[in-house]
Structure 1
């Protein structure tokens, strides 16, 4: 398995999708903002076809919502009851993942997660809070992938991205690193119960 810090070659569509994700996380595109295909096509120097593909991808992820004859817009903030449900479902998926990987984590897996935490600290030190949010997600995604590959990631990912619309942008706190460090330390020691407890404390 490639390391978490390995350079990935992204397609043009993936690069555009990543930029729009960042714009949504950063608040450049707040909830309910309507996205204009023509403006996006001009911004990225492409035809509207690839932009539609990106919009479809982000819709599947839960960040955007598309309606017939109305185009696409950033999804709305969840009602408190639905946000609570999302938190519960995400916790259940991640606890399931921890239970699956308890006896199969390799030294490379541990190093990959150490690298992600190092990147998280670097982003916090640089006060790049959009990057902090993205790396935070990548840490959890790595655990999910180790447990169930792309199939489990595809189940989990929309919950995470939809929940993000309810969060205020991360703007400080070393707790972000400390909470993830606690999860990793528990995994390294093979303490599934503690790892699950730390995950639940982090997901809120």
Structure 2
């Protein structure tokens, strides 16, 4: 039986595109965003755009100021970036500690699919898709460990980090690091998975 095509709501499509634009640098830090211009771009009314701008503000990608409207957030200075990395690492190490014996064969299959997406994105040099697959891999583990509550703590930190994230370099290294995490989890070796995770988050 063929799997039904997932229908993605318009608001999610707009949010996803704007996230990509910000993380890739197409929308530079401090760029002011205009609701009407965005509505025209996406062919929608201003209502959905306003909802998306509020959502991305909560995620930390945008900043709203009275009488100044909404603009792309500034990049973090090095010390703040280091702090964000440390907080993210702590959350994910906690998540890994909660996964002992918890992941199923279906979970591993989903994670394998994400690694295929990651490799394919590198092969196609589609670095926005590389970023999405990278985030999706970690989000899957965080959600499996703590559900929406842990995701809501983790996600804004990851997105804020990604605004000036320069670490991704060699495709093989990136894929191999994620593969090491997955193989350790398959073997239920939580200490090994934690070590692999720490090596990946830098």
Same fold (TM over 0.5): yes
Give, in whole Å, the separation in 2 of the partners of 1:147 and 1:13: 27
Give, in whole Å, the separation in 1 of the partners of 2:179 and 2:90: 20
Give, in whole Å, the separation in 2 of the partners of 1:180 and 1:81: 26
Structure 1 residue 168: Cα displacement: 3.2
Secondary structure of the equivalent of 1:31? coil
1:17 matches 2:15: yes
Q: 2:55 aligns to what?
A: 57
Give, in whole Å, the separation in 1 of the partners of 2:48 and 2:110: 32
Q: 1:154 aligns to what?
A: 152
Give, in whole Å, the separation in 2 of the partners of 1:134 and 1:6: 22
Q: 1:30 aligns to what?
A: 28
Q: How many residues get paired?
A: 200
Under a length normalisation based on structure 1, what TM-score does the superposition of the two structures give?
0.93
Structure 1 residue 25: Cα displacement: 1.9
Structure 1 residue 171: Cα displacement: 6.0
Q: 2:78 aligns to what?
A: 80
Q: 1:142 aligns to what?
A: 140
1:48 matches 2:49: no
Structure 1 residue 169: Cα displacement: 8.2
Give, in whole Å, the separation in 1 of the partners of 2:103 and 2:164: 32
Give, in whole Å, the separation in 2 of the partners of 1:62 and 1:200: 24
Q: 1:197 aligns to what?
A: 195
Query: Which structure 1 residue ranges, 5 or more long, are not aligned?
Result: none
In the superposition, relative to structure 1, how do residues 174 and 106 fare at CA in structure 2: closer, same or farther (>3 Å)? same
Please tell me whether the aligned partners of residues 129 and 171 of structure 1 are also in contact (alpha carbons under 8 angstroms): no
Give, in whole Å, the separation in 2 of the partners of 1:186 and 1:89: 23
Query: Which structure 2 residue ranges, 5 or more long, are not aligned?
Result: none
Point out the more displaced range, 162-171 or 23-32: 162-171
Give, in whole Å, the separation in 2 of the partners of 1:107 and 1:6: 22
CA deviation profile, 1:55-86 (whole Å, cap 9, x unmatched): 00011111111111111111111111111111
| RMSD of aligned alpha carbons | 1.6
Give, in whole Å, the separation in 1 of the partners of 2:167 and 2:65: 27
Give, in whole Å, the separation in 1 of the partners of 2:85 and 2:191: 19
**Of 111, 114, 123, which aligns to 2:112?**
114
Give, in whole Å, the separation in 1 of the partners of 2:138 and 2:5: 19
Under a length normalisation based on structure 2, what TM-score does the superposition of the two structures give?
0.94
Secondary structure of the equivalent of 1:28? coil
